[in-house]
Amino acid sequence: AGIRTLCILADSREISSGPEVISYLKMSLGVKVEVCSLGGCDYIVSSRLAVERKSQSEFANSANRSKLVDRIQHLQHLFDRVCLIIEKDRIKQGETSRTFQRTRYYDSTLSALISAGVQVLFSSSQEETAGLLKELGLLEQRKNTGIDVPTEVKGHKQEVMQFYLSIPNISYITALNLCQRFDSIRQMANSSVQVISARAHVSAQKAEELYRYVHYMFEAEMVA
């Protein structure tokens, strides 16, 4: 243990919004970064942990409230653990640093996040964010929840991935675990809650949710 390279999944949109985060992770920190379309999630650091990255100004702007709520709620449904990194805005050349005005909205949002069990981290730059992502990944590795499946999906497996991703509340990493750790969809569908939980690296509760979906009896009247 410990020798395995750390692997982190990054959403393709992060290439434009956080290019330095990804390059620091790859170049300076030696982390394997797989860029994929994660659909509503910035980084996946382990089988159960999603990390959302927000600039301080974006986070502090109350006009973004409903967007933030939707996003975090979405992540809470998909992952056992959710972490939010609030990153200081980059100061462009020639711009003097603006003093950040702390508002009531800012404090009440932080309070609500903490009380909902969301982990909140503060970063002063994209470089520091990369360091935090690595630390989070190492911690998850020590808890044996790190990403240790092949992240590349080829041929027939791509279609299988799309099938798993269409299941409600299944994250990209869970779909990947299902895809790589079961020989076939049939094998997964015939598995018990315990086996699904162990192979897909999900909580018993999540595994049971999936089991119920697989065994749910369709009624055409419900979609008419």
Partner 1 sequence: MAGIECTPVRAGASSVPCGHAIGSEKWRGTELARLLQGKIKLVFEDGLGLVDFHLSNRTCILYISESDLVSGNAFRRRLVRFRKACNLNGIVIAEKTRLSDQYYPPVQNFVVLELGMALLPVTNQNEAAQLIFNLVQERSREGNSNPFMRKKCFQLPDASLLQTVQKIPGVGKVKALQLLQHFPSIHKLSNASVAQLETVVGRTIALSIHSFFTQ
Tokens 């192979």 sit at which residue? 199
Q: Per DSSP, what are the bridge partners of residue 52?
A: 84
Q: Which of these ranges, 31-39, 46-54, 121-129, 192-200, lies near partner 1 under the rule CB under 8 A?
A: 121-129
Q: Which x/- pattern over 132-171 shows residues binding partner 1 (rule: CB under 8 A)?
A: ---xx--x----------------x--xx-xx--xxx---
Among 4, 15, 28, 213, binds partner 1 (CB under 8 A): 213
Q: Count the residues of the shown chain that bind partner 1, applying the rule CB under 8 A.
A: 51
- Please name which of 212, 133, 134 lies closest in space to residue 169, comparing C-alpha atoms: 212
Q: Does 118 bind partner 1 (CB under 8 A)?
A: yes
Q: Does 73 bind partner 1 (CB under 8 A)?
A: yes
- 81-87 and 119-123 as β-strands: parallel, antiparallel, unpaired? parallel
Helix H or strand E segment including 59: helix 56-60
58 binds partner 1 (CB under 8 A): no
Which residue has tokens 């020798």? 3
Query: In the window 97-116, what residues touch partner 1 (CB under 8 A)?
Result: 102, 104, 107-108, 110-116
Which run of H or E residues covers position 25? none
> What is the C-alpha to C-alpha distance for residues 205 and 126, in angstroms, rounded to an integer?
35
Q: Rule CB under 8 A: say whether 95 interacts with partner 1.
A: no
Among 28, 190, 192, 203, binds partner 1 (CB under 8 A): 190
Does residue 193 interact with partner 1 by CB under 8 A?
A: no
The DSSP letter of residue 82 is E
Residue 32 or residue 74: which is nearer to partner 1 going by CB? Answer: 74
Please select the residue that binds partner 1; options are 92, 98, 154, 215, rule is CB under 8 A. Answer: 215
CA angle 211, 41, 2 (to 5 degrees): 80
Q: For partner 1, which is the closer residue by CB, 35 or 118?
A: 118
User: Considering beta carbons, is residue 5 or 66 the nearer one to partner 1?
Assistant: 66
d(Cα 181, Cα 201) in Å, to the nearest integer?
Answer: 10
- Is 6 a binding residue for partner 1 by CB under 8 A? The answer is no
| Angstrom distances, CA of residue 184 to CA of 157, 161, 174, 179, 189 | 10, 11, 15, 8, 9
Angle at 159 between CA 82 and CA 176, to 5 degrees: 30
- The binding site for partner 1 (CB under 8 A) comprises 69, 72-73, 76-77, 102, 104, 107-108, 110-122, 124, 128, 131, 135-136, 139, 156, 159-160, 162-163, 166-168, 184-186, 189-190, 213-220, 222-223
